[in-house]
Structures are given as structure tokens and as C-alpha cells.
């Protein structure tokens, strides 16, 4: 899939996946989303906030919903291949990598990247 086919997903769309009071929207979003979507760090933060404050979910459920490896690009250009699909990232982009997706990385330019793991991986303690 090329970058032109990628979709930026806003907070409310992802919230429908966990909000049981919006069953029809949850079904539609589940059918529309594919693994090749892009979210921002702001979307992640907004989703955690809505899960805790509006939906009144407990912390464990909230963080289980957000349980992903995130490659957060601070600067540079980077290729992150998920399974066999290359994804081109640049500054301020975030890409979720669901566990246990096979992936490979390649820096296109010098990069600054932050990887976020939740829950904490035992092999990195």
C-alpha cells in the first residue's frame, strides 16, 4: 500500500471501537479500518482521556485498548515495514504496530524516533 492510500484516523473514530454504547458505529469502524492507518500522539492522548473520563473505563482496560508499540517520529524520514507493507514516516507521525506483527525498519535520512511499549516488555527491564 502506498502512502497515498493511508488514512489519518481521528480520536472519535478509534473511540467507537471500545464504546459499547455505540454498537452500530463500532461495527462500521471495525469494517472500515485496516492496519495501514496513521494516528498522531494527540489522538493517543485524547483516546486515553476519553476512555478514563467519559467512558469511565478502568486503567487496565484503557491501557489494554492502547496496548501497541508506537513508532513516534520526531524528525527525519523512516521506512517501517509491517508484514510486507512498507510505511513511510516523517516528522510528527505515529504508526501503531500491533503485537506480534513482523516488522523491519530502514532509516531514509538521519532520524530521531521514540518507541513506546505498553505494557512494559519484560525483555527490556
pLDDT of 27-75, one tens digit each?
888 777 665 566 776 777 788 888 889 889 898 888 777 765 455 667 8
**Cell numbers that stand for 74 in this block:** 520526531
List, in order of start, the domains of the chain with CATH numbers. Answer: 3-124 (2.60.120)
Neighbours of 85 (CB within 10 A): 13
Residue 117 in this model has a pLDDT that exceeds 60: yes
**pTM to 2 decimals?**
0.50
Strand ranges (E), the chain: 7-8, 37-38, 69-75, 77-82, 85-90, 94-97, 103-107, 112-116
Cell 512494559 belongs to which residue? Answer: 120
Amino acid at each position: 500500500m502506498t502512502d497515498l492510500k493511508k488514512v489519518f484516523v481521528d480520536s472519535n473514530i478509534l473511540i467507537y471501537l471500545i464504546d459499547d454504547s455505540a454498537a452500530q458505529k463500532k461495527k462500521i469502524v471495525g469494517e472500515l479500518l485496516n492496519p495501514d492507518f496513521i494516528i498522531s500522539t494527540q489522538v493517543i492522548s485524547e483516546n486515553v482521556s476519553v476512555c478514563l473520563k467519559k467512558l469511565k473505563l478502568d486503567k487496565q482496560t484503557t491501557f489494554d485498548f492502547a496496548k501497541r508499540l508506537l513508532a513516534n517520529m520526531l524528525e527525519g524520514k523512516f521506512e517501517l515495514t509491517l508484514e510486507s507493507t512498507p510505511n513511510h514516516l516523517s516528522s510528527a507521525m505515529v504508526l501503531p504496530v500491533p503485537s506480534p506483527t513482523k516488522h523491519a525498519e530502514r532509516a531514509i535520512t538521519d532520524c530521531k524516533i521514540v518507541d513506546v511499549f505498553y505494557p512494559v516488555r519484560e525483555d527490556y527491564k
